């Protein structure tokens, strides 16, 4: 080998092997994330099967328009992060910084809408706990349970997004310092995988929480 | 490094499909399908997830080892769901107390 790239760690034969190791490691981590969220989806499924009418009632109390718009916003942020990886692959530093910035913008917009929804739920007394109130004909206990799942699942999803936003901001700093080029952009690609995974979690959360019964 | 680079056009096409599927899942939720509505909603969600995994996450053009890793988590999740719901969804009375 004539020249060894500066980013190549000593335990790897070449850059390609190093990149494959990083990708495999990332997917192994994402498998643990699938199971982390999967446990909550399983619990959700059991209780929804137990209390179908009440959960349908409770689901109708979520704002369908805000939920739909937010899903579109998050899908757009997935597009921009994919475009950031594309820009890195083609060696466009400007493209990386621009698309990562757009991703932060859309991610922050999603969290803003989510915060508004939480605030609205607080005012409607739909936050589980001492202040919970339920004025429908259906029983209040199962409804409170629905909102417990709603807040825990969307809360963990939002926490993942906050972490993602931090990593994206760090990536922008690194990109501006010229740390990436067409040969080495693994951190951009791995962050992309993480961000897409968070998007996938929402793709399932949205219909299961907002769309139980809208007929 | 010879890596497959997906074109920007392809990313925008996938994004367009994702938005179409989003509209579909909202509209179909307004049609009374009874027990089928959750099956349809989950099928559309799975389709969206597949598009994201195959194209946005590059799994379609990744080495086979990466493809196996990407499926692994979902296989374990499927085990959890199959055994959990083969119990809960087949009890003769799944409604405890009030519901």
On the question of pLDDT at A92 being above 80, the answer is: yes
Of residues B93, B92, B18, B5, the one with CA closest to residue A89:
B5
Position B44 in a domain: yes
CB < 8 Å from B in window 67-126 of A? 68, 71-72, 75-76, 78-79, 81-83, 86, 89-90
Position B12 in a domain: yes
Position A27 in a domain: no
* Averaged pLDDT for residues A70-98: 97
Position A17 in a domain: no
Q: What was the pLDDT predicted at A1? A: 46
Position A24 in a domain: no
* Averaged pLDDT for residues A42-51: 94
Per-residue DSSP letter, A197: H
Position A95 in a domain: yes
CA distance A172 to A98: 9
Position B96 in a domain: no
Position A140 in a domain: yes
Query: Measured between CB atoms, which of B11, B77, B99 is closest to A34?
Result: B77
pLDDT in tens, B42-97: 999 999 999 999 999 999 999 999 999 999 999 999 999 999 999 988 887 656 66
Structural domain including A191 reads 34-210
Q: What was the pLDDT predicted at B91? A: 80
ipTM confidence score: 0.94
B5 at interface of A, judged by CB pairs closer than 8 A = yes
> In this complex, do B11 and A83 lie within 8 Å of one another by their Cβ atoms?
yes
* C-alpha A92: how far from chain center: 26
Number of domains into which chain B is organized: 1
CA distance A58 to A70: 19
Number of domains into which chain A is organized: 1
Position B37 in a domain: yes
Structural domain including B62 reads 8-88
- Which residues have a Cβ under 8 Å from the Cβ of B13 and sit 6 or more positions away? none
Position B62 in a domain: yes
């Amino acid at each position: 080998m004539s020249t060894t790239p500066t980013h190549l760690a000593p335990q790897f034969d070449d850059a390609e092997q190093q990149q494959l190791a990083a990708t495999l490691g990332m997917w192994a981590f994402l498998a643990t994330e699938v199971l982390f969220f999967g446990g909550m989806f399983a619990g959700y499924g059991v209780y929804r099967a137990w209390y179908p009418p009440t959960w349908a009632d409770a689901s109708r109390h979520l704002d369908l328009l805000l939920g739909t718009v937010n899903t579109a916003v998050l899908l757009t942020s997935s597009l921009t992060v994919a475009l950031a990886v594309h820009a890195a692959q083609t060696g466009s530093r400007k493209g990386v910084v621009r698309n990562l910035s757009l991703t932060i913008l859309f991610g922050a917009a999603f969290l803003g809408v989510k915060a508004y929804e939480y605030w609205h739920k607080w005012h409607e007394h739909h936050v589980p706990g001492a202040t919970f109130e339920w004025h429908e004909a259906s029983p209040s206990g199962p409804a409170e349970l629905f909102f417990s799942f709603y807040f825990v699942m969307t809360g963990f999803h939002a926490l993942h997004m906050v972490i993602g936003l931090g990593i994206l901001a760090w990536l922008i700093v690194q990109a501006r310092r010229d740390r990436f080029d067409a040969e080495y952009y693994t951190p951009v690609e791995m962050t992309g995988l993480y961000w897409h995974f968070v998007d996938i979690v929402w793709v399932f959360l949205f219909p299961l929480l907002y769309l139980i019964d809208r007929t | 490094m010879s890596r497959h680079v997906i074109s920007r056009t392809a990313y925008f096409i996938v994004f367009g499909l994702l938005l179409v599927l989003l509209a579909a899942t909202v509209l179909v939720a307004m049609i009374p399908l009874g027990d089928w509505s959750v099956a349809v909603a989950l099928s559309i969600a799975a389709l969206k997830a597949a598009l994201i995994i195959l194209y946005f996450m590059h799994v379609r053009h990744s080495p086979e080892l990466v493809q196996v890793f990407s499926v692994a988590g979902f296989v374990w999740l499927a085990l959890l769901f199959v055994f959990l719901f083969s119990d809960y969804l087949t009890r003769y009375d799944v409604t405890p107390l009030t519901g």
